[in-house]
Structure 1
Amino acid sequence: MKRQRRSFTPEFKLEAAFGFGSMLVALRLPQLLEHFSERRVMLSGLVVLIVGQITGAMFAQGYYALLLVWLVMGAGYSLVQTPTSKILVRSATAIERPALFAAHFSLSHAGWMLAYPVAGWLMTAMDAYSAFIVLAVVSTTGVILTSILWPASDEAPKSHRHDDLSDDHEHLKYYGHGDQHSHPHVVDALHSKWSR
């Protein structure tokens, strides 16, 4: 009996290109994050996504060009999404982490629940060029808002004190006792407000 060759659909190939781009970056991220901050890597990922969307607008008619676009989009996605876990771990104690990761999961999936249908609707309601341009404009707005809401000054360790904590509190045990201590910017129950 002759075995039939399995043929992959064009959609599967696009998804594979996206996944391949994502994995290529994910495997290199530990080294990248040793040299660059999460903020810089994630903002770079947004820029890569915008480049992918603009490239998609320019070459949307060719299937092989779209494969390249999806590869670039996968790389950008991984740069934006993967470092999030480092930020979440740093921003919560072990007890708070499950709730923080659950909140992140819910919010990110709510964003996807809105974005995927909008992207699909744009592709059917207008031509691919216009849809990619609209998505690039939305992504550019995201880069601008992120740069404003997450300033570069947040990357530097902050010197501060906790007069309300007991000497045996785990935070003070980890970062040291005394009037002042410093560590990277986090937003958690102990650091709801930071001086800029």
Structure 2
Amino acid sequence: MNFDSKYLIRWGLPGWVCILYFIYYLFMIDKLNLSDMSKNASSLIGSFIVVFPLGVIVGYLVYQMYFILLWITSTNELRNIKTLNVIKESNLTRLPEKRDEVYYHTEYMWHKYLVMQEEYKMNYISDRYRHLLTKKHEAGSLLTALVFSMPISGALVTRCIWGELSTFDMYMPVLNVVLILYMIRTYLYYHRNVDYFVAGFLKDMIKNKI
């Protein structure tokens, strides 16, 4: 089975984030001694060999959870509000009543007009659309991994409150919150960018302005 290297980042990064926070937690509660591992080269290499592919597996599961959560929590308006408005204003088709079918129909209309374009136009639009969509989902999966790491951050904060850890040990939980806020902004940027891109091109394609 061919494994594209791009999946190492797409799936690996969210997985490695989750594993990093878990390892950090074990280290902070004295269940893991990194200094001893660093002295033993074979142990360190063995741990890396295990963690590297495990991160990809965990990341893949996080990636799937992201899509499940996105599908459950999103309405059609949140998924593609501008694109949906373009289709409504065109009066070319009647939208289904069911929420999921509205989304499917919107995707159908987008691809229907896309394949009607000249090849060089279709290739450019498709490549740009794929790039934006990939960035959106990468940001979404990383955001999901950071959210999944929050219980560990919460456990560390609780131990700090109990006096088992010092406030100086709280940089990872703080970093967790900062990264979540940053990734929310990043995700929303690409989400809106994809919707604006599709809506703009679909509107022009319907009016034969491309």
Which TM-score applies when normalising by structure 2? 0.26
Could you say which structure has the higher helix fraction? 2
| Greater radius of gyration (CA) | 2
Which structure has more relative contact order (CA 8 Å, sep 6+)? It is 2
Which TM-score applies when normalising by structure 1? 0.28
